[in-house]
Amino acid sequence: MVKDNKKFEFTVDGAIYSIGDKVMDGSQIRETAGKVPASEFVLIQIVEKSGRSIGLEDEVKFAPGETAVFRTFESDRVYNFTVDERGWEWGEGAIAAADLYRYADIDEDRELVLDSDGDTIIPVDGKIDLSGKGVERVRSREPKTVTIKVNGRPRTVEKRRHSYREIAAIAYPNPDFENFNYTTTYLHGVGGAEGDLVEGESIMVKNGMVFNVRRSDKS
């Protein structure tokens, strides 16, 4: 019976590789992933919520049961930036916000801001330009606003508790609470909450929360 000695794993650009060597250098990792000649590729290891470049002769130790994660870029330049004061290296002049959420393990409810550009908010589908002068500084923070849907329409509102009357007023501007009822239901709330919102109640809103408001005559 042939014993399988491939007990270590790593991924490169999402493709998984199984190996028997506990230690490989940067050149070997690139070549295993078909990135040849190795010298034409920047290799970034995602480790401890950060990205660090691995040179051709730099050694990487693998641990059984853990999958090391790498990204490659056909480039000869490494770009530096920070995320929440943690140093990052990247192999191209821009990085997608989605990659930062994923690799830096940032909660999807937080927003990214470009600290080096006056707290400019980075859209979740946006990119951060790393090619300028200086080191870009990115921070994550609790958002001040969220986007909800009210009767099918996206609305940007403050991230706080909103009352029954405030939600009704978004659906029907200048609501008449004396003569009309506003039957309000919600989905996708905090922790997946769903239910009814009635007079006298309020609820914390979150990104992607959905409200349906139906107006009916009290008479």
Query: pLDDT per position in the chain (219 positions), as tens?
Result: 455 677 899 999 999 999 999 999 999 999 999 999 999 999 999 998 999 999 999 999 999 999 999 999 999 899 999 999 999 999 999 999 999 999 999 988 788 999 877 788 898 889 999 998 888 999 999 888 888 999 999 999 999 999 999 999 999 999 999 999 999 999 999 989 999 999 999 999 988 899 999 999 987
What integer pLDDT is reported at residue 145 of this predicted model?
Answer: 87
Mapped onto helix, strand or coil, the DSSP state of residue 50 is: strand
Burial label, 3 (beta-carbon count in 10 A; 0-12, 13-18, 19+): exposed
User: Residues, the chain, total?
Assistant: 219
Separation of first and last alpha carbons in the chain: 83
**Structure tokens that stand for 26 in this block:** 């940067």
Looking at residue 132, its pLDDT comes to: 87
Peptide bond into 123 cis (omega under 30): no
Distance CA(188)–CA(146), nearest Å, equals 13
Return the closest-CA partner of residue 57 out of 35, 31, 8, 24: 24
Q: In 3-state terms, what secondary structure has residue 31? A: helix
* Euclidean distance between CA atoms 199 and 182, whole angstroms: 9
CATH topology of domain 143-215: Ubiquitin-like (UB roll) (3.10.20)
C-beta atoms surrounding 136 within 10 Å: 20
* Rounded Cα gap, residues 92 and 73, in angstroms: 7
DSSP reduced 3-state for 164: helix
The per-residue b/e assignment along 27-52, b for 16 or more CB within 10 angstroms, e otherwise, is: bbbbebbebeebeebbbbbbeeebbb
Say whether 143-215 and 6-139 share the same fold. yes
Q: Give the pLDDT score at 124.
A: 85
CATH topology of domain 6-139: Ubiquitin-like (UB roll) (3.10.20)
Question: What's the rounded Cα separation, in Å, for the pair 45 and 150?
Answer: 42
> How far, in Å, are 24, 69, 76 from residue 43 at the CA level?
13, 10, 10
Q: Are 195 and 172 in contact (CB under 8 A)?
A: no
* Closest alpha carbon to 90 in 44, 136, 50: 44
Domain residue ranges in the chain? 6-139, 143-215
Dig out the tokens for 156 from the structure: 């940007």
